[in-house]
């Protein structure tokens, strides 16, 4: 084995980690062949082969057109994971409602391992078309350049935020992305005071968003509710004010519904 064998923390099963890398490679490339995977993961063809076959036997991959792709089984597992989240269960109807009323893209985001995960989103009537919808839902995002992410960060203890920034950094996405640690902490302060996070074209040029945290009775943050709209729309102070009030109200209703259920 190569020199730099890093300690993965606890003892782990290398074969399982390898399988996980296989799954990741299949997702990234949208399907792989045996030789291709062997090259990408730097293992022998026979190893790549047996991994793919094993995952296929277990229903996690399927062969389509001579390539191995992710099985729909993942969509079953994904639904299972989502549905355990009260934020998803109680938030989904509110997202539908908000998207309907505002006509804009509306999302629910939660945090996992320091990244934002888009649990659900709806494109409202006036929402711009394109690959935006499917692209976002497939993606784990950094938390510092989205309104949803910043809303979550603002509700997390300071040292947790520091930990996340250490781990994932603050890469720029547009010219407006916050890439400085101190600026970020100041921004989070502002968000706490104001009650909502504002994304000023920090992720996508021409797009702004408003994000509001959703908390449980113990004040742990479960995630956030957000609405994004063209910069043009958001530049109108009044519209923005109205919209933020609206999102805060919905987030609050979600919180109440979650609290009543437990």
Partner DNA sequence: TAGTTCGTTCGAAATAGTCGAACGACCGAA
Partner DNA sequence: TTCGGTCGTTCGACTATTTCGAACGAACTA
CB 103 within 8 A of CB 123: no
Residue from 40, 54, 174, 252 that binds a second copy (CB under 8 A)? Answer: 54
Cα separation, 122 vs 95, in Å, equals 7
Q: Which residues contact 55 (CB under 8 A, 6 or more apart)?
A: 19, 22, 23, 61, 68
Applying CB under 7 A, which part among 44-52, 93-101, 144-152, 224-232 lies near DNA? Answer: 44-52
Binding flag, residue 130, DNA (CB under 7 A): no
Of 8-16, 32-40, 142-150, 240-248: span binding a second copy (CB under 8 A) = 8-16
With b for 16 or more beta-carbon neighbours within 10 A and e for fewer, the 95-114 pattern comes to beebbeebbbbbbbbbbeeb
Q: Among candidates 53, 78, 73, which has minimal Cα distance to 63?
A: 53
Count of other CB atoms within 10 angstroms of residue 207: 21
Q: Does residue 206 come out as left (phi exceeding 0), alpha (psi in the -120 to 50 range) or beta?
A: left
Query: Which one among 7, 8, 159, 182 touches a second copy, defined by CB under 8 A?
Result: 8
Does 45 help bind DNA (rule: CB under 7 A)? Answer: yes
Pull the structure tokens for residue 176. Answer: 């407006």
User: Where does this chain touch DNA (CB under 7 A) — which range of 37-45, 137-145, 163-171, 185-193?
Assistant: 37-45
Cβ at position 182, least distance to a second copy in Å? 30
The stretch near a second copy (CB under 8 A) out of 136-144, 153-161, 171-179, 206-214 is 136-144
Closer to a second copy at the Cβ: 62 or 248?
Answer: 62
Alpha-carbon span 156 to 158, nearest angstrom: 6
Q: For DNA, give the closer residue by CB, 27 or 89.
A: 27
In the complex, what is the shortest distance from the CB of residue 5 to DNA, in angstroms, rounded to a whole number? 8
What six digits make up the tokens of 242?
Answer: 């109205």
**Residue 17 binds to a second copy (criterion: CB under 8 A):** yes
Residue 132 sits in the site that holds a second copy (CB under 8 A): no
Q: Taking CB within 5 to 8 Å according to partner kind, which of DNA, a second copy, none is near residue 126?
A: none
Q: Residues with Cβ < 8 Å from 16, sequence gap 6 or more?
A: none
**193 is written with which tokens?**
């005071």
Instruction: Give least dist CB 20 to DNA, A.
Output: 11
* Chain residues that interact with DNA, rule: CB under 7 A: 1, 10-16, 18, 33-36, 43-47, 49-53, 66
């Amino acid at each position: 084995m190569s020199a730099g064998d890093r300690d993965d923390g606890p003892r782990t099963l290398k074969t399982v980690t390898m399988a996980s890398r296989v799954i990741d490679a299949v997702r990234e490339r949208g399907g792989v062949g045996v030789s291709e995977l062997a090259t990408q993961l730097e293992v022998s063809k026979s190893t790549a082969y047996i991994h793919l076959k094993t995952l296929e036997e277990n229903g996690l991959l399927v062969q389509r057109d001579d390539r191995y792709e992710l099985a729909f089984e993942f969509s079953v597992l994904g639904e299972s994971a989502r549905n355990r989240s009260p934020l998803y269960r109680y938030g989904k109807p509110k997202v539908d409602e908000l998207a309907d009323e505002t006509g804009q893209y509306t999302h629910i985001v939660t945090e996992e391992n320091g990244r934002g995960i888009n649990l659900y989103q709806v494109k409202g009537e006036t929402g711009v078309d394109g690959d935006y919808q499917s692209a976002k839902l497939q993606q784990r995002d950094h938390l510092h350049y989205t309104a949803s992410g910043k809303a979550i960060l603002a509700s997390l203890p300071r040292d947790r935020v520091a930990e996340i920034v250490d781990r994932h950094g603050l890469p720029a996405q547009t010219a407006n992305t916050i890439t400085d640690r101190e600026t970020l902490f100041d921004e989070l302060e502002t968000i706490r005071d104001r009650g909502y996070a504002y994304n000023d074209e920090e992720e996508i040029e021409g797009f702004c968003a408003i994000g509001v945290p959703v908390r449980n009775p113990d004040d742990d943050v479960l995630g956030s509710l957000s609405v994004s709209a063209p910069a043009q729309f958001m530049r109108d102070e009044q519209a923005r004010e109205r919209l933020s009030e609206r999102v805060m109200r919905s987030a609050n209703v979600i919180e109440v519904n979650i609290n009543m259920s437990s």
